Chains A and B, each alone.
Chain A
């Protein structure tokens, strides 16, 4: 069990969580690792919370885990929620500038949470805050927030650049491959540029 790494990708239906998970899984496979993934279908395009789990290692038994080493969140509230999935000393990679208010917040019945950084510190987990919207916009499309974050998360995941490239090529439809390759590189650079540690 110990040699298995779990990554949870969380976000809002329609943000491309499943695509990001597919890229990650392919990259892990390119590393020669055993991979299992699991996701929730059906509501994925209806604006609900979406969680996809990718697990990789020498051998993976269970396809699910509620204790992720890394959580990748494409939206701020889902990032807050994703903290609940993080194992102690895990890392949250979150699109902190992307806020999509759920219906209860829109109706002003509930409050959108604040202070992700403080909550992360209190929980003893590491936060990599990414302005994924800016990165995606720079890459050429706001729709690439998912892959921009994956680029940022690549700094804490033990895959070679070549494996990530193979993951992108394998999972991303060819007509949007280039913009996603750009988003990935810019996302990775946004963290490296800030001097965050690179594994």
Chain B
């Protein structure tokens, strides 16, 4: 390993971020290449102490990073600006769940479209996601800010956006390497109220997120990354990122508010600049991101009427743009109006002490058996979106997490890689798998991830009302298209796959046990059609009250048709006769009644 102490290196901004990540104790890096971000992961991959992987796209990269962060490893994920669009789905819910170990997302923007199809301003995602954003202005800051970003991430329980632009990412400068950051280990703790973003928990996390943004703004006011730099002329400039360097060179005598932490905007620091000078300009590439917020404070500002709204800037452009304003009549002095803290909805307050009625897995849903079997393995279970989220509720309590469509597999892969063992499974429905689980499975295969992926194939898109999907081939007009075979698909991407009948509890349990005991990545397709589609009644279950000792095994499957009575369980009318309760009973107290006799009630 290279001795990185006491040395000055001449580094590209992206390389500095890679070095900075390792120095900050990051143990996991994920990315999809994209100019101008690519060298971040390439640099990290060449250093010791960090695992780096290319993921199949930015969404999977972020989800894999989430898994590593949950497992307790500081993680950096990098992409170009348009990649952040691809990763926006996990990002916008990750901001609710927060992190375990620090998670830093680097988005490299490309003003001027040196190598891009559009010129979007990633800073808007920081506002959209209500997360803090740091903007380094040179290679040294790129190196240093990574550690700041990780510290913020853990302190505020939030992903942090580190935003760079082409001239920062691909510009080079001296970087003084610093001592490694001491990072305390963080254990993974199952916490569905933080990781399982079903409405009941997500509503609470949304409030957390709104309040967190208020606290972050206080931090931005105090942060040494936001510096008011005195000047000698009556002219102030607000700038962040490499643009600060252009403006500083163009106007060496101006006052500067240099924003290293540019979101949330430190309103009072902005106001402080207005106390020193009568003319203030925001110099920024692309959108009037800071300018609009300054205007919201009611303060007069020179912005996009002078500074081009497209393309890259440099010191000549900035000088030419602002030079006329040095001698213009200063605007009338006005006091800032600081926006008040937002109110939170009253509707969340509980209005009664009546028992809640959460939705449950339907009676007769044989995918319940997957949860029953999975729970007996000591595995975290990363869930996905759809009916199967209901497996997280009591008494099944079989899921740890739900983030966004298709996220289960990436989270599992990152989690297992970070812990170095098969510590988690992924649970995903057939339609969600086709939506975006498939890309994550390809990524996991390519990266030789460890894990068990359970695809619960109920032959429909159930939660939304039984729409067709590529697995069934059924189209909205009821015509039949080709149906994609999950087994053949897995074979094609080199993933071991077993298809099991979810109605055969013993076979399913055995298959799960076998997979858990086999190294590497495996898929189990558990097949059983949606109980609401078939609506079949396959017999009546009766209780032998002599044998039943109310041990609770049948109650633990979470079937709404099984209820505890005084001396024995009872089977309610909702029973479809699926028989899972019979199979889990160890005392033979449950059985099918004769073909035409009714069930006990």
Query: Given A46-B390, A47-B560, A103-B393, A110 and B360 touching (CB < 8 A)?
Result: no
B564 lies within 8 A of A113 (CB): no
A46 to B, closest residue via Cβ: B359
A111 lies within 8 A of B362 (CB): no
**Cα–Cα, bound, A108→B394 (Å):** 12
User: Which single member of A12, A41, A43, A110 contacts B355 (CB below 8 Å)?
Assistant: A110
**Cα–Cα, bound, A48→B394 (Å):** 14
Count of chain B residues with a beta carbon within 8 Å of a chain A beta carbon: 26
B464 lies within 8 A of A42 (CB): yes
| Interface band, chain A | 20 to 34
Query: Given A45-B362, A45-B532, A46-B387, A104 and B560 touching (CB < 8 A)?
Result: no
A101 to B, closest residue via Cβ: B563
A111 to B, closest residue via Cβ: B355
Interface membership of A141, Cβ < 8 A? no
A80 lies within 8 A of B395 (CB): no
**Cα–Cα, bound, A81→B395 (Å):** 24
Of listed B360, B390, B394, residue having the most chain A CB within 10 A: B360
Task: Report A83-117 residues with CB < 8 Å from chain B CB.
Answer: 84, 101-108, 110-113
B357 lies within 8 A of A77 (CB): yes
User: Which single member of B359, B387, B465 contacts A13 (CB below 8 Å)?
Assistant: B359
Interface membership of A38, Cβ < 8 A? no
Interface membership of B348, Cβ < 8 A? no
A11 to B, closest residue via Cβ: B357
**Cα–Cα, bound, A101→B359 (Å):** 12
Interface membership of B497, Cβ < 8 A? no
A108 lies within 8 A of B564 (CB): yes
A78 lies within 8 A of B362 (CB): no
Chain A hits for B555, CB < 8 A: 106-107
Q: In the assembled complex, how far is the CB of residue A16 from the closest CB belonging to chain B, in whole angstroms?
A: 14
Q: Mark A109-147, 1 if CB is under 8 A from B, else 0.
A: 011110000000000000000000000000000000000
Chain B hits for A46, CB < 8 A: 359-362, 387, 390
Interface membership of B358, Cβ < 8 A? yes
Task: Report B372-398 residues with CB < 8 Å from chain A CB.
Answer: 387, 390, 393-395
Q: In the assembled complex, how far is the CB of residue B526 from the closest CB belonging to chain A, in whole angstroms?
A: 19
Interface membership of A49, Cβ < 8 A? yes
A112 lies within 8 A of B355 (CB): yes
A106 lies within 8 A of B357 (CB): no
Task: Report A56-89 residues with CB < 8 Å from chain B CB.
Answer: 77-78, 80-81, 84
Interface membership of B599, Cβ < 8 A? no
A105 lies within 8 A of B355 (CB): yes
A47 lies within 8 A of B360 (CB): yes
Dominant secondary structure of chain A at its interface with chain B: loop
Chain A hits for B532, CB < 8 A: 45
User: Which single member of B351, B354, B394, B465 contacts A103 (CB below 8 Å)?
Assistant: B394
Chain B hits for A110, CB < 8 A: 355-356
A106 lies within 8 A of B358 (CB): no
Interface membership of B463, Cβ < 8 A? yes
A75 to B, closest residue via Cβ: B357
A49 lies within 8 A of B357 (CB): yes
B351 lies within 8 A of A102 (CB): no
B361 to A, closest residue via Cβ: A46
A43 to B, closest residue via Cβ: B359
Chain B hits for A81, CB < 8 A: 352, 354
Q: In the assembled complex, how far is the CB of residue B397 from the closest CB belonging to chain A, in whole angstroms?
A: 12
**Cα–Cα, bound, A101→B390 (Å):** 17
Q: In the assembled complex, how far is the CB of residue A90 from the closest CB belonging to chain B, in whole angstroms?
A: 16
A42 lies within 8 A of B358 (CB): no
Interface membership of B429, Cβ < 8 A? no
Interface membership of B558, Cβ < 8 A? yes
Query: Given A106-B560, A107-B394, A107-B395, A80 and B359 touching (CB < 8 A)?
Result: no
B359 lies within 8 A of A47 (CB): yes
B360 lies within 8 A of A103 (CB): yes
Chain A hits for B463, CB < 8 A: 42
Q: Please, could you name 9 A-B residue pairs with CB atoms under 8 Å apart, sorted by A?
A: A45-B532, A48-B357, A48-B358, A77-B357, A101-B563, A102-B356, A103-B358, A103-B395, A107-B395
Which 3 pairs between the two chains have the least Cβ-Cβ distance? A48-B359, A46-B359, A110-B355
Interface residues of A (CB under 8 A from B): 12-13, 41-43, 45-49, 77-78, 80-81, 84, 101-108, 110-113
